[in-house]
């Protein structure tokens, strides 16, 4: 395998002699066959090929192959959004009557998906603090636990997960670890190298990186031995009657079973496919991912250091700062940098934070993060505005917290903007 920068540019699509240099957008819902026998083989999963873009599309598969190479995985698929990726990743192995252990500091949308919507579907979740002890983590498992879930860098808490600790507990209980690697991206962390079995992405964030295309991805390491825990994973280890009784783990092996099942069953039935147009845009983003991530991290580090020294700033959360509580974990898992997102608290609480927000000139207010363009948000007056100060603290969102997604502009311009906004306080 080539180095990560080269894979960002060349991974996935490899044109043959005289074929288009750029990834073609196969804008076709359907694919043509000469005989019914050819088609029947596809429907029986006896041959691989395309028949309908609700399940699979060649443009998507080329981009998924690039992401699999970037993460060091065996197989991957694209989904219509990050939400769909995390839903498919869990639902592929945990259904009604099952249980999942998850880190408590995950993206709010994922928390809702797990604690509200999947709960209605009969999947139960236990949330554990990411910095819990091994004993506390092990105590969260039940006989019906089917997976463990966490985020490399939590959105929006920007804390770093001890992936090895979570992998060890998952494997001790015979279940896979699923890691949402959206904020770190494979440029800065490859969770599979630390023991994760399945990696998910909201490609909407850094991978696209230009705020252009909502999308998601799931990568399977191909390392988890489903058949060794066959009693826990009947969906992979027992016959699928909707495909003439094939057993995914036997027919497709460790490397192919998980993604084949997610495609053949979940994509077929739920249809959360990414459009080939969006996959094309995502691929353009991936070509510069390594260059952008480096600049995001350099800029965010300088911004964090500036904020840390400003008299109107009470605290800064960024694992690149030596006194950050995640500094050690950052040094271990994110040697080349973490991401461009940081949060800070303004002295003077909610009122002062609201005042600072009024003065940003270059940096606009957006709910989005992880984009080439810097943006900021005051959650207490936006995404979390229905909560009072007490509820905010319980949710880990202090009233004075401002989230800043540092882009790839010139850092001096960004710091000047933040400085004049902070200085406006007195």
Ligand X SMILES: *Cc1c(COP(=O)(O)O)cnc(C)c1O
Give phi and psi for 389, each to the nearest 5. -60, -35
Rounded to whole angstroms, the Cα distance separating 138 from 135 reads 5
214 binds ligand X (CB under 6 A): yes
Among the candidate windows 51-59, 64-72, 76-84, 256-264, which touches ligand X by CB under 6 A? 76-84
Give the nearest distance from C-beta 40 to ligand X in angstroms. Answer: 36
Residues between 166 and 185 that touch ligand X (CB under 6 A): 180, 182-183
- 205 vs 295 by CB, closer to ligand X: 205
Among the listed residues 12, 72, 82, 345, the single contact to ligand X using CB under 6 A: 82
Partner residues linked to 71 by β-bridges: none
83 binds ligand X (CB under 6 A): yes
404 binds ligand X (CB under 6 A): no
Give the nearest distance from C-beta 204 to ligand X in angstroms. Answer: 4
Among the listed residues 58, 216, 320, 345, the single contact to ligand X using CB under 6 A: 216
Describe the chain by its helix, strand, coil percentages, rounded to 5. Answer: 40, 15, 45
Give the nearest distance from C-beta 425 to ligand X in angstroms. Answer: 30
Among the candidate windows 68-76, 82-90, 374-382, 412-420, which touches ligand X by CB under 6 A? 82-90
- 111 vs 315 by CB, closer to ligand X: 111
Give the nearest distance from C-beta 354 to ligand X in angstroms. Answer: 24
Total site size for ligand X, rule CB under 6 A: 17
CA end-to-end distance (rounded Å), the chain: 55
87 binds ligand X (CB under 6 A): no
Among the listed residues 105, 202, 265, 317, the single contact to ligand X using CB under 6 A: 202
- 213 vs 352 by CB, closer to ligand X: 213
Give the nearest distance from C-beta 385 to ligand X in angstroms. Answer: 19
Q: What are the E-state strand segments in 290-369?
A: 313-317, 341-346
Partner residues linked to 129 by β-bridges: none
Report the run of H or E that residue 220 belongs to, with start and end: strand 216-220
The CB-based long-range contact list for 324-333 (8 Å cut-off, 24+ gap) reads 325/159, 326/158, 326/159, 326/160, 329/160, 329/161, 329/162, 330/160, 333/152, 333/160, 333/161, 333/163, 333/184, 333/189, 333/194
Among the listed residues 205, 292, 384, 398, the single contact to ligand X using CB under 6 A: 205
Rounded to whole angstroms, the Cα distance separating 306 from 242 reads 59
Give phi and psi for 148, each to the nearest 5. -125, 140
Provide the 10 A C-beta neighbour count for residue 393. Answer: 12
Q: Which residues neighbour 105 within 8 Å (Cβ) at sequence distance 6 or greater?
A: 129, 130, 151, 154, 157, 159, 396
Among the listed residues 57, 60, 145, 155, the single contact to ligand X using CB under 6 A: 155
Among the candidate windows 117-125, 126-134, 201-209, 244-252, which touches ligand X by CB under 6 A? 201-209
Alpha helix stretches (DSSP H) within 175-288? 185-188, 234-237, 248-251, 253-261, 268-270, 276-287
Site string for ligand X, 358-377 (x = CB under 6 A): --------------------
Structure token digits, residue 101 = 């252990």
Is the CB of residue 412 less than 8 Å from the CB of residue 306? no
Give the nearest distance from C-beta 236 to ligand X in angstroms. Answer: 24
211 binds ligand X (CB under 6 A): no
Site string for ligand X, 106-135 (x = CB under 6 A): -x-xx-------------------------
Which of 183, 201, 253, 211 lies closest to 63, judged by CA? 201
Give the nearest distance from C-beta 205 to ligand X in angstroms. Answer: 5
Residues interacting with ligand X, by CB under 6 A? 81-83, 86, 107, 109-110, 151, 155, 180, 182-183, 202, 204-205, 214, 216
């Amino acid at each position: 395998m080539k180095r990560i920068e080269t894979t960002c540019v060349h991974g996935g699509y490899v044109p043959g002699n005289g074929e288009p240099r750029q990834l073609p957008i196969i804008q076709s819902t359907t694919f043509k066959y000469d005989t019914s026998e050819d088609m029947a083989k596809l429907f029986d999963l006896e041959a691989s090929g395309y028949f309908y873009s609700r399940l699979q599309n060649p443009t998507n598969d080329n981009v998924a192959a690039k992401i699999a190479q970037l993460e060091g995985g065996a197989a991957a698929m694209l989904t219509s959004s990050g939400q769909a990726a995390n839903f498919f990743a869990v639902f592929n192995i945990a259904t009604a009557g099952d249980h999942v252990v998850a880190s408590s500091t995950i993206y709010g949308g994922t928390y809702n998906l797990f604690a509200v919507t999947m709960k209605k579907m009969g999947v139960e979740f236990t949330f554990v603090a990411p910095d819990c002890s091994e004993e506390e983590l092990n105590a969260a498992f039940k006989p019906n636990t089917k997976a463990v879930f966490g985020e490399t860098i939590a959105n929006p808490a920007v804390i770093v997960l001890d992936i090895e600790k979570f992998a060890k507990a998952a494997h001790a209980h015979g279940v896979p670890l699923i890691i949402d690697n959206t904020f770190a991206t494979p440029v800065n962390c490859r969770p599979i190298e630390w023991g994760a079995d399945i990696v998910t992405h909201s490609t909407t964030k850094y991978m696209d990186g230009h705020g252009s295309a909502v999308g998601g991805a799931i990568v399977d390491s191909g390392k988890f031995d489903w058949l060794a825990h066959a009693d826990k994973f009947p969906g992979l280890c027992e016959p699928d009657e909707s495909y003439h009784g094939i057993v995914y783990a036997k027919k497709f092996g460790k490397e192919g079973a998980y993604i084949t099942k997610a495609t053949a069953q979940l994509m077929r039935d739920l249809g959360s496919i990414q459009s080939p147009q969006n996959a094309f845009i995502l691929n353009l983003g991936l070509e510069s991912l390594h260059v952008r991530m480096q600049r995001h991290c350099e800029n965010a580090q300088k911004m964090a250091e500036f904020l840390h020294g400003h008299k109107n700033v009470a605290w800064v959360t960024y694992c690149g700062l030596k006194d950050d509580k995640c500094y050690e974990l950052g040094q271990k898992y994110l040697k080349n940098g973490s991401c461009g997102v940081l949060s800070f608290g303004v002295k003077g609480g909610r009122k002062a934070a609201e005042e600072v927000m009024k003065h940003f000139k270059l940096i606009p207010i957006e709910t989005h993060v992880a984009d080439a363009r810097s943006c900021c948000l005051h959650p207490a007056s936006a995404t979390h505005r229905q909560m009072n100060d007490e509820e905010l603290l319980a949710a880990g969102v202090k009233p004075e917290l401002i989230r800043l997604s540092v882009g790839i502009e010139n850092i001096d311009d960004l710091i000047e903007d933040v400085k004049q906004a902070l200085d406006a306080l007195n």
